[in-house]
Amino acid sequence: MKKALKWIAIIVGVLFVIGLIFGNSEDVKNTTAQTAVSDDTVADPMVTETEVVAEDNGMTNQQKNAVRSAKNYIGFAGFSRDGLINQLSSEAGDGYSVEDATIAVDSLDIDYNEQAGKSAENYLSIMGFSCDGLVEQLSSSAGDKYTAEQAQYGAKLAGACD
């Protein structure tokens, strides 16, 4: 009898776990439907900034693709405007023309202060920086290419400056 109860408990437990895993599929469908937008816009739920790019705004396919790439980049790392344009247009990056990369980046509503904070936090997670050293790294033309104001804001946001 104990053995039968043990197996029943195991089976109920397994069914419960399976229900948890597969039972939320309707919630996933509802969430996906909520993030969908009308046919004239492109949205990326990975990006925290509130930007929407209209497809019918005269962008070429290359520029639309550059927008998608830009959204992906800022979704996982901090980028300055110049750094993002460079990433998109670099031979080692995506290889878009500088013009297409610039149009794509400028079409997005990106908070570069927030991006500087992301970059600063990333640097601090790797190694220690003084406030001035972090600001220099963030604003350097050989570094992240943020403006001095954005770099200062980002370093402060990340806790490197008082």
User: How does pLDDT run along the chain (162 residues), one tens digit per residue?
Assistant: 555 445 554 554 444 434 434 444 333 333 333 333 333 444 443 444 434 444 447 899 999 999 999 999 999 899 999 999 999 999 988 999 999 999 999 999 999 999 999 999 999 999 999 999 999 999 999 989 999 999 999 999 999 998
Every domain of the chain and the residues it spans: 2-35, 41-157
First to last CA, the chain: 68
Q: Please give the single-letter amino acid code of residue 2.
A: K
Q: Quick check: 144 and 160 in contact, CB under 8 A?
A: no
pTM above 0.85, yes or no: no
Predicted pLDDT of residue 57: 73
SS3 assignment for the chain: CHHHHHHHHHHHHHHHHHHHHHHCHHHHHHHHHHHCCCCCEECCCCCCCCCCEECCCCCCHHHHHHHHHHHHHHHHCCCCHHHHHHHHHCCCCCCCCHHHHHHHHHCCCCCHHHHHHHHHHHHHHHCCCCHHHHHHHHHCCCCCCCCHHHHHHHHHHCCCCC
Predicted pLDDT of residue 79: 96
Q: How far apart are CA 74 and CA 90, in angstroms?
A: 16
Tokens 């013009």 sit on residue? 99
